[in-house]
């Protein structure tokens, strides 16, 4: 039993490290796409304080507002899933839907400074997603499209 606990702990730590690296890659890609000549580090230092590799939230840190766009949005019910996932991130005070128009949803997230929202979503959102745009005050996510709704490809053609 102790071996399973240790293995689970090591897997959790490895997952956290990989998620941190993925977020660093996302930021680097966003900087490259914006033509930014200053490259962010490829790999960020893993969190060292807190429990199980999660950094503690400084609740005295000021709140910031981050705009989150979900585009394209193929299923309106997924907005609620993203809202719930954002709400599960330590340091997020509130999440609200601002607009729902066409195939886009715009959310407003109030979180303490320093709270890594993209990393948090990778831990809490049960859907696959990509980051298509990001900066200090906003980011856009593209949720994985269900197989039945995909256009083209073998699955979309009748035999």
pLDDT tens profile 24-59: 777 777 666 666 654 444 334 434 344 444 456 777
Q: Is the pTM of this model over 0.75?
A: no
Q: Which long-range contacts (CB under 8 A, 24 or more apart) does 95-100 make?
A: 98/67, 100/73, 100/76
pLDDT of residue 21: 73
Please tell me whether residue 24 adopts helix, strand or coil conformation.
Answer: helix
| Residues 20 and 40 sit within 8 Å (Cβ to Cβ) | no
Higher pLDDT, 128 or 154: 128
pLDDT of residue 155: 45
Percent of the chain surpassing pLDDT 90: 45
Which DSSP state fits 46? P
Q: Considering only the top CATH level, what class is 2-42+53-146?
A: alpha beta
Spell out the domain ranges in the chain: 2-42+53-146
The token pair at 84 is: 């719930």
pLDDT of residue 124: 93
């Amino acid at each position: 039993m102790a071996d399973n606990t240790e293995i689970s702990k090591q897997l959790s730590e490895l997952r956290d490290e990989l998620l941190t690296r993925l977020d660093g890659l996302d930021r680097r890609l966003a900087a490259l796409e914006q033509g930014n000549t200053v490259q962010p580090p490829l790999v960020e230092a893993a969190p060292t304080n807190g429990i199980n590799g999660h950094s503690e939230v400084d609740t005295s840190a000021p709140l910031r507002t981050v705009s989150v766009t979900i585009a394209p949005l193929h299923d309106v019910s997924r907005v609620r899933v993203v809202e719930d996932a954002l709400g599960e991130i330590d340091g997020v005070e509130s999440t609200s839907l601002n607009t729902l128009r066409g195939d886009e949803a715009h959310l407003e997230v109030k979180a303490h400074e320093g709270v890594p929202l993209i990393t948090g979503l990778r831990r809490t959102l049960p859907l696959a997603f990509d980051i298509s745009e990001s900066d200090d005050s906003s980011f856009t996510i593209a949720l994985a499209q269900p197989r039945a709704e995909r256009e083209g490809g073998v699955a979309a053609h009748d035999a």
